[in-house]
Amino acid sequence: MSSRDGFDICVIGAGVIGLAIAYELAKKYKNQDVSIVILERESSFGQHVSSRNSEVIHAGIYYPTGSLKAELCVMGRELLYSHCEQFGVAHQKTGKLIVAKGTEAYALAKVKENAIANGVLDLQLLDRVELQKLEPNIEADMALHSPSTGIIDSHGYMQSLLRLAENLGVQFSPYSRVEKIDTDADAFVVHCQLDENRSPEHYEFNCQQLINAAGLEAQSIAQSVSAIPKNTIPKLHYCKGDYFDYRRRNPFSHLIYPMPEANTTGLGIHATMDMSSQLKFGPDTEYIEKVDFRIDGNKAKAFAENISSYFPGIDAGDLKPAYSGIRPKLSGPGEAAADFEIQEESVHGLSGLIQLFGMESPGLTASLAIARYISNRVDL
Ligand SMILES: Cc1cc2nc3c(=O)[nH]c(=O)nc-3n(C[C@H](O)[C@H](O)[C@H](O)COP(=O)(O)OP(=O)(O)OC[C@H]3O[C@@H](n4cnc5c(N)ncnc54)[C@H](O)[C@@H]3O)c2cc1C
């Protein structure tokens, strides 16, 4: 942290969304003597939700038409592919198959209808024979093929965002935990606790524009803002998703998804791969009370049962616990899926404060579009 008194813009959280926002704002205010800082409590960027996901670049198929999730995913996907091409971030347009049984034909047609309404126009309906040609190890009667779905090296992507932002003058401040935020006449006073080995241990500074992109902690940061009406802060539900690695050779060349769960709580235990073609299955959905990333290895049996509905060759013994992630959901068990919630002055009454809540999937895909959306609302 520099010794100056303040910054024009402060972004809290160096996950993929905070990094994308800082980069977009740095481009907007290039050569304009606007100072931007990203505060991150960890030693480095992307240690939380952004490094515990499927790393899928989603097409934008399932989200309700007109929702922020739908609009920002479709726009973000294109921005993300261009960014990857331009800055050499590893990615692959693998394509994805949503596989279904004959009894699910109507539901699958509805998925396609929704995708078209969202502007996803490249889906193709495949019959059993066409599907078998593409993926002989899959057992299903039909599938929707999404050629614009892909995978990305999310760490490499975040690294590129940070490097680009820093090149434009953004200051990255790791080991800086935001403790509370006071509101002054025309500025926010941000109170930080620095890593215990750093001096000084406490630090506070002013900023004019504050962006709360703290992921699972967005609500607790919001609670710490003096003068904010507490009833504007949405309830947070932790929804955990576990992944299991497949011990054998990857038998698929596409990402394979079953039909989505009720209320699209999750997209079903799907088969996805990383850039080294390591196949993994997940995530499941489990609402939990507190953050806990442990995986119960006994779940392998239930996973295998679920996966066998489209991949009969699966054996529980081939599944090895890999990692888990926690979705910062705004909808509780059994409730309809909630949209991203991006709150501005019109909601909480504080000029210069933007807060992002419920940034679950497709937040990685949508990150650059979210950043543009925020940038359009920042006016120094
Ligand atoms: C299981 C799972 C699967 C997913 N799969 C996909 C997918 O395939 N495709 C897709 O597009 N999206 C996916 N997502 C969603 C995507 O991962 C998220 O939308 C995105 O990573 C959220 O980024 P973020 O920056 O908001 O949060 P985070 O990455 O959690 O970043 C928030 C940052 O804030 C910091 N922070 C918190 N409190 C403080 C504080 N007090 N002071 C300073 N810093 C603080 C944290 O340390 C953290 O680094 C998935 C999510 C999950 C959970």
Is the pLDDT reported for residue 156 higher than 50?
A: yes
Helices 68-87 and 154-167 pack at an angle, to 10 degrees, of 80
| Ligand 1 touching residue 69 (CB < 6 A) | no
The answer on 131 and 16 residing in a single domain is no
The answer on 306 and 248 residing in a single domain is yes
**Considering only CA atoms, which residue is closest to atom 52 of ligand 1?**
53
Tokens of 302: 């239930």
Is the pLDDT reported for residue 4 higher than 50?
A: no
CATH code of the domain covering residue 254: 3.30.9.10
Residue 78 covered by a domain: no
The answer on 100 and 172 residing in a single domain is no
| Ligand 1 touching residue 219 (CB < 6 A) | no
| Ligand 1 touching residue 150 (CB < 6 A) | no
The answer on 325 and 250 residing in a single domain is yes
The answer on 344 and 319 residing in a single domain is no
The answer on 371 and 256 residing in a single domain is no
Read off the pTM: 0.97
The answer on 318 and 185 residing in a single domain is no
The answer on 325 and 244 residing in a single domain is yes
The pLDDT assigned to 265 comes to 66
Where residue 262 falls among pLDDT bands split at 50, 70, 90? low
| Maximal C-alpha separation, the chain | 68
Q: What is the pLDDT of residues 344-365, one digit of tens each?
A: 999 999 999 999 999 999 999 9
Determine the residue of 1, 42, 47, 50 to mutate for testing ligand 1's pocket, defined as the one with the most ligand atoms within 8 A of the Cβ atom.
50
The pLDDT assigned to 195 comes to 77
Where residue 161 falls among pLDDT bands split at 50, 70, 90? very high
Instruction: Give the integer Cα–Cα distance in Å for 77 and 150.
Output: 9
Number of domains within the chain: 2
Short-list 19, 58, 259, CA closest to 152: 58
Higher model confidence: residue 261 or residue 86? Answer: 86
Q: What is the pLDDT of residues 24-33, one digit of tens each?
A: 999 999 999 9
Residue 249 covered by a domain: yes
The answer on 305 and 357 residing in a single domain is no
The answer on 289 and 246 residing in a single domain is yes
3-state secondary structure the chain: CCCCCEEEEEEECCCHHHHHHHHHHHHHCCCCCCCEEEECCCCCCCCCHHHCCCCEECCCCCCCCCCHHHHHHHHHHHHHHHHHHHHCCCEECCCEEEEECHHHHHHHHHHHHHHHHCCCCCCEEEEHHHHHHHCCCCCCCEEEEECCCEEECHHHHHHHHHHHHHHCCCEEECCEEEEEEEECCCCEEEEEEECCCCCCCEEEEEEEEEEECCHHHHHHHHHCECCCCHHHCCCCEEEEEEEEEECCCCCCCCEEECCCCHHHCCCCCEEEECCCCCEEEECCCEEECCCCCCCCCCHHHHHHHHHCCCCCCCCHHHEEEEEEEEEEECCCCCCCCCCCEEECHHHHCCCCEEEEECCCCCHHHHHHHHHHHHHCCCCC
Domain span at residue 30 reads: 6-51+155-235+337-375
Residue 57 covered by a domain: no
The answer on 282 and 252 residing in a single domain is yes
Closest approach atom of ligand 1 to CA 363: 19
Residue 91 covered by a domain: no
Residue 20 covered by a domain: yes
Query: What residues are paired with 53 via a beta bridge?
Result: none
| Ligand 1 touching residue 80 (CB < 6 A) | no
Q: What is the pLDDT of residues 270-300, one digit of tens each?
A: 999 999 999 999 999 999 999 999 999 999 9
Residue 76 covered by a domain: no
Where residue 325 falls among pLDDT bands split at 50, 70, 90? very high
CA of 111 to the centre of ligand 1 (A): 26
Residue 77 covered by a domain: no
> Which residues in 289-316 are b (16+ Cβ under 10 Å) and which e?
eeeeeebeeebbeebbebbebbbeebeb
| Ligand 1 touching residue 53 (CB < 6 A) | yes
CA of 220 to the centre of ligand 1 (A): 15
The pLDDT assigned to 176 comes to 94
User: Please, is 90 exposed, middle or buried when counting C-beta atoms within 10 Å of its C-beta (0-12, 13-18, 19+)?
Assistant: middle
Where residue 106 falls among pLDDT bands split at 50, 70, 90? very high
**Considering only CA atoms, which residue is closest to atom 15 of ligand 1?**
361
CATH code of the domain covering residue 207: 3.50.50.60
| Ligand 1 touching residue 284 (CB < 6 A) | no
The answer on 172 and 218 residing in a single domain is yes
Residue 73 covered by a domain: no
